Each structure stands twice: as structure tokens, then as C-alpha cells.
A and B are shown apart, each in its own frame.
Chain A
Amino acid sequence: MKAASPIDVRVQAEDFDISAEIRKLAGERTDIGAVVTFTGRCRDEEGRLAALELEHYPDMAETEIARIAREALRRWNLAGLTVIHRFGRILPGQNIVLVVAASTHRKAALEAADFLMDYLKSRAPFWKKEHLTSGEPGQWVNAKTEDEEALAQWRKE
């Protein structure tokens, strides 16, 4: 990996392999002391949910995630950052999103991963629609006010 471009953003239908992504990001590098991963998965909501359908705005999804990733890189001293966001039909137990953050010391990677997820939820152009096990028509997931409020803490800094 070139030091000049430590950001890897992918928007894809396919699943991802967390171990492979850690290897790809940190690999043989001996300067990286911390790798943090966050994996967001589809829940079944106590059996109510059959699947989630993730709609996205192609191009803008990549552009917006890359913008958020660059902001994280500006705020924390990171060795690398990988963000993978899936779209399409996702079943309970399957992966939706992966953030991998690498840094010399753990705090930067932990905070950057948290920041990335807060911003992804409210700024990356994805929308979740629920498909129900009952067969009844599912609803679009409503944005939570907590998600918007979560951004406020990062603005103070």
C-alpha cells in the first residue's frame, strides 16, 4: 500500500472477509501497533425481520464515504483506513458494513472507527427497507434522532 493513499473505500453487493481486509491494510507493515475493526450486521429483530434491502446512490456513496474517511485521516494519525459498505438484499446474520482503522497506538484507531460509523449512518446515501417474516409489506427504516445527535459530539472537537 502506498503511504500517499491510505484510504480504501468500496461499495459492493458481495460480502467481505474481515481477516483478508486486516491483512490487506496492515500486512507486513511494522509501524502499525493497532488495528480496530467494526462490523455492522443485519439483525432479525426478534424473528420479525426476514431481510434488509439496502438501496444506495451509486457514485455518491463512494464519494461521500471517501470524504468522511479523509476527514478522519485529518483528525487522527492513521496508518490506513478501509471502509466497505454493502448494498442489496442482506439476511439476518450477514454483514452490512466494515470499518478497519490502523494506527501506531490504539486510541487513534478506536476513535476514528467510532467517528466513521457515526458519520456513515447519517451522511452516506444508503437506505434500509425491512422485509418481514410475516409476509406483510415492510417499511423503510426511520432515521434515529440519536444518530444525528451522535454527530454533535464530533463537532465540538
Chain B
Amino acid sequence: MKLVYFAWVRERVGHETETVSLPGEVVTVSDLLDWLKARGEGYAAAFAHPEIIRVAIDRKHVAHDMELPPDGEVALFPPMTGG
């Protein structure tokens, strides 16, 4: 699965994109956020408050209880500040 990060999530994680293989117990977006949080210092800083992180699967906004697809692009980012 391809992960992409934006804004301060990207800065804290330390890279823009990566490909990961998720363990079987990671089923929902919420599980993914918890899994990422435990991956190291930068990740812990980026995902310290997983509830505020916005997520898009294949470029569509999704809620945290959404099940992850078997493959695809999952984007993780802070609340948006466009306009």
C-alpha cells in the first residue's frame, strides 16, 4: 500500500511517500493511524493526536472507521487550510 503525507505530517514523518505492507490486524483507517504512531519518533510526533488527522483513500476523503482497501494510495494530512 502506498502512503503519502502532506504538510506537517510529511515534515514530522520525514518523507513524502512510502510503500508499506500492513499486518493483518490493521483493518481500518483508525488501525492504520495507531500502527503508524508506533513506528518511531517522527511518526509518534506526526500521529500523536490521530483523531485530528484527515485521510483520503485514492484521493477521496474517508472517515476513520473506513476499511482499508487491499491496495491503493492512502494520504494522511492535517486539517486543510486552503481558500
- Given A57-B6, A57-B75, A140-B7, decide whether A126 and B81 contact each other with a Cβ distance below 8 A: yes
* Distance between B33 CB and nearest chain A CB, rounded to angstroms: 18
Compute how far the CA of A57 lies from the CA of B57 in the bound complex, rounded to whole angstroms. Answer: 12
Compute how far the CA of A59 lies from the CA of B6 in the bound complex, rounded to whole angstroms. Answer: 14
The 0/1 profile, CB within 8 Å of A marked 1, for residues 41-83 of chain B is 0000000000000001001110000000000000101111111
Number of A-B residue pairs with CB-CB distance less than 8 Å in the complex they form: 72
Number of interface residues of A (CB under 8 A): 28
Interface-centre pick from B4, B59, B60 (highest chain A CB count, 10 A)? B59
* Distance between B17 CB and nearest chain A CB, rounded to angstroms: 11
Compute how far the CA of A120 lies from the CA of B82 in the bound complex, rounded to whole angstroms. Answer: 6
* Distance between A143 CB and nearest chain B CB, rounded to angstroms: 3
- Given A55-B7, A140-B8, decide whether A60 and B59 contact each other with a Cβ distance below 8 A: yes
Number of interface residues of B (CB under 8 A): 16
Please, which residues of chain B bring their CB within 8 A of the CB of A129?
7
Please, which residues of chain A bring their CB within 8 A of the CB of B77?
57, 125, 127
Q: Does A123 contact B (CB under 8 A)?
A: yes
Please, which residues of chain B bring their CB within 8 A of the CB of A120?
82-83
The 0/1 profile, CB within 8 Å of B marked 1, for residues 96-107 of chain A is 110000000000
Compute how far the CA of A40 lies from the CA of B7 in the bound complex, rounded to whole angstroms. Answer: 21
Chain A positions within 8 Å of B, measured between CB atoms, are 40, 54-57, 59-60, 63-64, 85, 96-97, 117, 120-129, 140-143, 148
Chain B positions within 8 Å of A, measured between CB atoms, are 4, 6-8, 56, 59-61, 75, 77-83
Top-8 shortest CB links A-B: A126-B82, A143-B79, A127-B7, A121-B83, A60-B59, A120-B83, A124-B82, A141-B81
